[in-house]
Structure 1
Amino acid sequence: MTAAINIETEKVKTGIDYTRKIQPLVCASKREEGNDELYCPFCVAVDKMTGNIYIADVYNYCVKVFDSTAKYMFKFGDIGREGKISHPSSLVIYKSRILITHSHSILKYNLDGEFISRIGKQGKGELEFIFPKGIAINESNDDIYICDCSNCRVQILSKDFQFKSQFGPFEYPRDVKLSKEYIYVLDASNPCIHLFNHNHILQKSVISRGRGNQVTDPYSFFIDNSKNILIADYSSNSISIFNPEFQSIHNIPVSEHPTAVTVDNHHRVIVVCTHNVNCLQIF
Structure 2
Amino acid sequence: MAFENPKIDFLEQINNTRESIKNRFKISREALSAREQILLDNIDRIESEYNQNAQLQAELSESLSSIVFSSIEKLKANELSDTREEVTSLLDSKLTKLAAETDFQIEFEWNNLFETEIEQLGNILLNGQTNLSTLRTFPLQVKPVIPDYKIKQLPTSYCCKKISNQKAPGEFNSPKSIAIHYKSERIYVADRENNVVQVFRCDTGDYLFMFGNKMNKPRGICIFQDKVFVTQLFDHCINVYSLEGILIQSVGSHGSGEVQFSYPQGLDVSIRNLNVYVCEYGNNRVQILTPDLKFHSMLGIGIFHRTRDIKITRDRIIVLDESDPCVFLFNSDHNIINRLITRGDAKQTMNPVSFDIDRDYNIILSDYSNHCVYVFNIDGEQIHKFGKYGQGIGEFTNPWGVALDNKGHIIVVCEKTTACLQFF
TM norm structure 2: 0.60
Structure 2: distance between partners of 1:72 and 1:271: 16
Structure 2 equivalent of residue 185 of structure 1: 319
Alignment of 1:90 with 2:231, yes or no, is: no
Structure 2: distance between partners of 1:278 and 1:90: 21
State the Cα distance separating 1:276 from its structure 2 match.
4.3
- 5 Å-filtered alignment, 1:21-60, equals 21-28=152-159, 29-32=161-164, 33=166, 34-60=168-194
Structure 2 distance, partners of 1:26, 1:276, is 15
1:208-264 deviation digits (Å, cap 9, x = unpaired): 215557222111111112211100011111110112222222112142211111111
Residue identity opposite 1:185 in structure 2: V
Further displaced range: 211-220 or 259-268: 211-220
Rounded Cα–Cα distance in structure 2 between residues aligned with 1:270 and 1:218: 16
Kept in 2: contact 1:40–1:278 (CA 8 A): no
Matching residue's letter, 1:54: Y
Deviation at 1:189, TM superposition (A): 4.6
Query: Structure 1 stretches (4+) deviating beyond 4 angstroms?
Result: 210-213
Q: Secondary structure at the match of 2:169?
A: coil
With over 3 angstroms needed to count, the CA separation of the structure-2 counterparts of 1:252 and 1:101, relative to structure 1, is same
The amino acid of 1:152's aligned partner reads N
* 1:227 equivalenced with 2:358 (yes/no): no
Cross-structure match for 1:10? none
Per-residue CA deviation, residues 113-170 of structure 1 (Å, 9 max, x unaligned), is 1111101111111111111101011111111100122111111111111111002222
Of stretches 124-133 and 187-196 in structure 1, the one that deviates more from structure 2 is 187-196
Query: Percent identity between the aligned chains?
Result: 36
Structure 1 residues 123 and 211, CA gap change in structure 2 (3 angstroms)? closer
Count of paired positions: 265
Opposite residue 121 of structure 1, the aligned amino acid is S
**What's the secondary structure of 1:161's corresponding residue?**
coil
CA contact (8 A) 2:341 2:348 kept: no
* 2:204 equivalent to 1:72: no
The 1:213/1:128 distance shift into structure 2, 3 A limit, reads: closer
More helix as a share of residues? 2
2:354–2:366 Cα contact (<8 Å) kept = yes
Q: Which letter maps to 1:140?
A: R
Match of 1:117 among 232, 243, 249: 249
- Structure 2, unmatched stretches of 5+, are 1-144, 388-394
- Whether the aligned pair in 2 keeps the contact of 1:171 and 1:190 (CA below 8 Å) is no
CA contact (8 A) 2:188 2:198 kept: yes
1:227-266, aligned counterparts within 5 Å? 227-253=361-387, 254-266=395-407
Matched, 1:99 2:229: yes
8 Å Cα contact 2:146-2:358 kept in structure 1? no
Higher relative contact order, chain-length normalized (CA < 8 Å, sep 6+): 1
**Shift, 1:278, TM fit:** 6.5
TM superposition score normalised by structure 1: 0.89
Q: What is the alpha-carbon root mean square deviation over aligned residues? A: 1.7
Q: Of 301, 306, 309, which aligns to 1:175?
A: 309
Checking the alignment, whether the CA contact within 8 Å between 2:405 and 2:411 is kept in structure 1 is: yes
**SS of the counterpart of 1:60?**
coil
Larger radius of gyration: 2
Q: 2:195 aligns with which of 50, 61, 69?
A: 61
Once the two structures are superposed, what CA deviation does each residue of 1:6-57 show, in whole Å capped at 9, x if it has no partner? xxxxxxxx93211111111122221112222011110011110121111000
**Structure 1 residues not aligned, in runs of 5+:** 1-13, 78-82
Residue in 2 that maps onto 1:281: 422
Q: Distance in 1 between matches of 2:306 and 2:158?
A: 31
Which amino acid letter does the alignment assign opposite residue 247 of structure 1? E
Alpha-carbon separation, structure 2, partners of 1:278 and 1:61: 20
